[in-house]
Structure 1
Amino acid sequence: MKTIVKLMKSTVAVVVAGALMIACSQALQVSYDYDSSVNLKQFKTFKVEAEHNMEQDPLLGSELNRRRLGDAVVEVMEAKGYKMDTKNPDIIVRFMTDVKDRQQVRSNNMYSPYMWWYGGGNNISTYNYQESRFILNIYQKNSDRMVWQGWASGKVKAPTKKEDRETMVKNTMTDILKTFPQATLDTYSRN
């Protein structure tokens, strides 16, 4: 009996912890696109900057967030084996953010065979929210040609603490760059 009670308590604790983790996590959808004619594994060095000629959201695109985004991209790229080179990089990683107003429409059909007796019908409700996007564009330095693009979009709840903001930004950049290849020693050249 004591074993069953202990097992039930530990199961409840795991379920509650899992529910809290899901409730606290950001609901961002991550995707990417790339130029298949370019060997992405040939690059070794990079530099990071904000995207040119793009209108930034005044909050997400603030100077504070631009620094957070830049620092997070540098940290993730270096963890993937790339070296920072501001003078002569192989690739330039440019980032930007924006926010779009969105609306979700929900319909609750309450039709039944007895609708004529009880009433019923179709209840429609709308939900307005803001969708944030974090976008990374990677350009080949010698041609200024985009070779890779990754983005995360979704509803973002602003963290309340500085550490939480930095962690959220770093985790988002890690998720976006997850599909970008690790830096390698060989460049697939046939010397």
Structure 2
Amino acid sequence: MRRVFVFLFGLILITACASQRDVSVQTAENIDFRSYKTFMVKLDPDKEYADFADQKIEEVLENEMELRGLEKDTVKPDLWILYDTRVRQKTKLERSSYPYDYYYPWDWGYNRYPYREYTYQEGTVIIDVVDVKNKRLIWQGWLSESVDDKRDLEDVEMDIRSIMARFPLKASKTATENQ
């Protein structure tokens, strides 16, 4: 019984500490995603080369699209897969959760709900899927979350896979089965 309790406590602790990935998507109306057969992941034209993060993102996006039955075609694709990553500094105001007042006879009172301001880095990953023939955005997925210097390429991969899990074409098998 003690082992079960320790296991459950550990499981709760792990899930409580995990960062939640809140993915948002937009899909164009009246699109038959099954009609598309080929794709190409495009690098931002303003970039002169693909850094390690870009290479990882391209690799994961290609894998995700192939799992959905599309073929990579760098000459005449049906779809362009574009992505953008952004990091910006944000400020958040947080209220203390201690709800009780203190009474000091020599003071005018205690601030009931003190606020604390802190800054953090918010990273956003945006994936656009464009119909090449019509030059029309047909799907967009994005994710924003707090980031720090300790993020690595596995975190980026999890972010991309979280976004692509909401893509209209479902994967025929998972990424782990494909490897």
Q: Under TM normalisation by the shorter chain, which class is it?
A: 0.7 to 0.9
Cα distance in 1, alignment partners of residues 15 and 135 from structure 2: 41
The reply on whether 1:78 has 2:71 as its aligned counterpart is no
Provide the TM-score with structure 1 as the length reference.
0.75
Matches within 5 A, 1:1-191: 7-23=1-17, 25-52=18-45, 63-108=51-96, 112=101, 115=103, 117=105, 119-121=109-111, 122-159=113-150, 165-182=152-169
Shift of 1:159: 4.5
Shift of 1:116: 6.2
Deviant stretches of 4+, over 6 Å: none
Q: Deviation digits for residues 65-94 of structure 1, max 9, x if unmatched?
A: 111111111111111221111111110000
Native 8 Å contact 1:110 1:120 kept in 2:
no
SS in 1 for 2:76: coil
Equivalenced residue count is: 166
Change in CA separation of 1:178 and 1:150 when aligned onto 2, cut-off 3 Å = same
Shift of 1:170: 2.2
The runs of 5 or more residues in structure 2 that have no matched partner are: 172-179
Native 8 Å contact 2:90 2:121 kept in 1:
yes
Native 8 Å contact 1:152 1:172 kept in 2:
yes
Q: Work out the percentage of aligned pairs sharing the same amino acid.
A: 21
Shift of 1:41: 2.5
RMSD: 2.7
The runs of 5 or more residues in structure 1 that have no matched partner are: 1-6, 185-191
2:177 — aligned with what?
none
Cα distance in 1, alignment partners of residues 45 and 137 from structure 2: 13
Higher helix share: 1
SS in 2 for 1:75: helix
2:176 — aligned with what?
none
Shift of 1:129: 0.2
Shift of 1:167: 2.8
